[in-house]
Amino acid sequence: MKKCKVILAALVMLMMFPGYCLASFNHLYWQYYKELPVTSSGFSAIRLDQEVMRHCQENFSDLRVTDQAGREISSQVIQPDKQRLDIATTERDRIEYPDYSSVVLDLGPQPQAHNRIDVNLDSSKDYMREVKLEASLDNQTWGKIGQGRIMMFHGRTYNTVSFTTNTARYMRVNISQVSGEKRLLLTNTQVYFMPVSLYQAKVIPVNLSQRSDRTRTNIVVDLQVPNFFINRVTIETPDRNYDRMLFVESDSQTSKTNRTLTMNTDNIFDYQWQNYASTRDYIEINQYARRYLLLSIDNGNSAPLKITGIKVTASPPYLMADLKGSARLWYGNPNIDLESYDLGKFAYLVQATDLRWVTPGPQQLNPDYKVPFSEQHKWLLDALIILVALGFVAIIIKNFDKIRELGKNEQQP
Partner 1 sequence: MSPEEQQTLESLQAEITALKARVAALENSPSPHSSGDIPRSRESRSLIRSLRSESNQYTGITTSDASAADHSRLEEYIGGRLLNWVGALIVVFAVAYFLKWSFDNQIIGEMGRCILGLASGIALMTTGQLCQKRGYRLYGQGLIGAGIAIIYLSSFAAVNYYHLITPYIAFALMFITAITGGILAALDNAPATAAMATIGGFLVPFLMGSHTGQVIPLLSYVLILDLGVLFLAYYRQWLALDILALVGTAVISVVAQNMNWQVWPGQAFLTAYLILFIAVAANYNHRTRNNNQFLLFFSTVFFAAVSFSNVINKIEDWRGLFTLTLAMIFLIAYYLPLTASKTTVHFRRWLLVWALIFALLTAPLHLNDVYCAIAWLAVAALLLYLSRHLLLKLPYIVALVIITAVCLTALGSYVRPYLMPLFNQASLLMALCAVDWLLALVILPRLYQNRTYLTLTLSAAVISTLFYLVQFDIGNAIYYCQANQSFTFLIPVAWALISTMVLIIGVRRNNKTIRLLSLVLYGVVIIRTLFFDLRQLDIVYKILVLLAIGLIALAISFFYQKRMKGEVLP
Interface positions with partner 1 (CB under 8 A): 13, 16-21, 211, 213-214, 218, 254-259, 296, 337, 378, 382, 385-386, 388-389, 392-393, 395-397, 399-400, 403-404, 406-407, 410
Which one, 357 or 392, has the nearer CB to partner 1? 392
User: What span, in angstroms and rounded, lies between the C-alpha atoms of 261 and 226?
Assistant: 13
Which one, 17 or 346, has the nearer CB to partner 1? 17
Minimal distance in Å, beta carbon 46 to partner 1?
A: 27
Minimal distance in Å, beta carbon 259 to partner 1?
A: 8
Which one, 7 or 393, has the nearer CB to partner 1? 393
Which one, 39 or 301, has the nearer CB to partner 1? 301
> In 3D, which of 302, 284, 187 has the Cα closest to residue 244?
302
Minimal distance in Å, beta carbon 170 to partner 1?
A: 53
User: What span, in angstroms and rounded, lies between the C-alpha atoms of 302 and 248?
Assistant: 20
Minimal distance in Å, beta carbon 163 to partner 1?
A: 43
Distances from the Cα of 14 to the Cα of 11, 20, 22, angstroms: 5, 14, 20
- Output phi, psi for 298, to 5 deg: -85, 110
Q: If phi over 0 gives left and psi between -120 and 50 gives alpha, with beta otherwise, what is residue 344? A: alpha
Query: What letter does residue 280 receive in the DSSP assignment?
Result: E
Minimal distance in Å, beta carbon 6 to partner 1?
A: 11
349 burial level (CB within 10 Å; 0-12, 13-18, 19+): exposed
Minimal distance in Å, beta carbon 312 to partner 1?
A: 20
> In 3D, which of 161, 185, 157, 184 has the Cα closest to residue 171?
161
Q: Let me know: does 243 contact 305? Beta carbons within 8 Å.
A: no
User: What span, in angstroms and rounded, lies between the C-alpha atoms of 256 and 218?
Assistant: 11
Which one, 99 or 410, has the nearer CB to partner 1? 410
Which one, 92 or 211, has the nearer CB to partner 1? 211
